[in-house]
Amino acid sequence: MPSRSKPPADDDRSPPGRVSRHIQPLGPRVLVRLIKSPDRSESGLFLPAGAKDSHSEALLAEVVEVARTMPKPGFVIDEDDDDDDIKADLGENVSGIPVGAQVLFAKDQGIAVPWDESLRILGVRHVLAIVDIISEDHLQ
């Protein structure tokens, strides 16, 4: 009968060093980082966290990662740049929302990431709007 190796006990493993995590949303989803609202109202009054959170119906967040097609193996040369950088092909964005966009969504939507409360995985159908910031100089 072949011998089975038993999994190492928790105390046999050394504690992991510093780790980095990359979340790749699957399906029609995006990963967003919540944008903290200001602590003061426009008139200058201090707003405690409970007061501002209870009155808001929607949250503002920045898209930090999107669902993508399966990446192609190897690297590609970025032809748009003049510095001829070689970059990994991450796959094509299939979410329809660009990375870096600011989005508005209902505060009860999305799944919080367990190790970072400022991150949420959000279904594209729950995105209410993409918010563009326009300076006063560009307003007509």
| Domain membership flag for residue 8 | no
Give domain status of residue 40, yes or no. yes
**What six digits make up the tokens of 120?**
């949420």
- Per-residue pLDDT reduced to its tens digit, 25-41: 988 999 999 998 766 66
Distance CA 45, CA 39 (A): 8
- Nearest CA to 133 out of 35, 41, 55 is that of 35
Could you tell me the CATH number of the domain that includes residue 65?
Answer: 2.30.33.40
Give Cα separations from 128 to 21, 58, 61, 97 (angstroms): 28, 9, 11, 12
Name the H helices within 9-140.
Answer: 49-55
Residue ranges of the chain whose pLDDT lies below 70:
1-16, 38-55, 71-89, 140
User: Both tokens of residue 40?
Assistant: 């003061």
73 within a domain of the structure (yes/no): yes
pLDDT for 36 equals 84
Query: Which residues are 58's β-sheet partners?
Result: 106
Residue 60 lies in a domain: yes
Q: Determine, yes or no, domain membership for 131.
A: yes
Domain range spanning residue 129? 23-138
Examine residue 69 and state whether it is found in any structural domain, yes or no: yes
In a domain, 9, yes or no: no
- Reading the block at residue 84, the tokens are 């001829």
How many domains, in total, are found in the chain?
Answer: 1
Written as six digits, the tokens of 103 are 């989005």
The string of pLDDT tens digits covering residues 48-63 is: 665 555 567 889 999 9
In a domain, 4, yes or no: no
Which residues fall within 8 angstroms of residue 101, CB to CB, at 6 or more apart? 62, 63, 130, 131
Quote the tokens at residue 55: 């009155």
Separation of alpha carbons 106 and 127, rounded Å: 8
Residue 24: what pLDDT? 86
Under a CB-based contact definition with an 8 Å cutoff, are residues 103 and 74 in contact? no
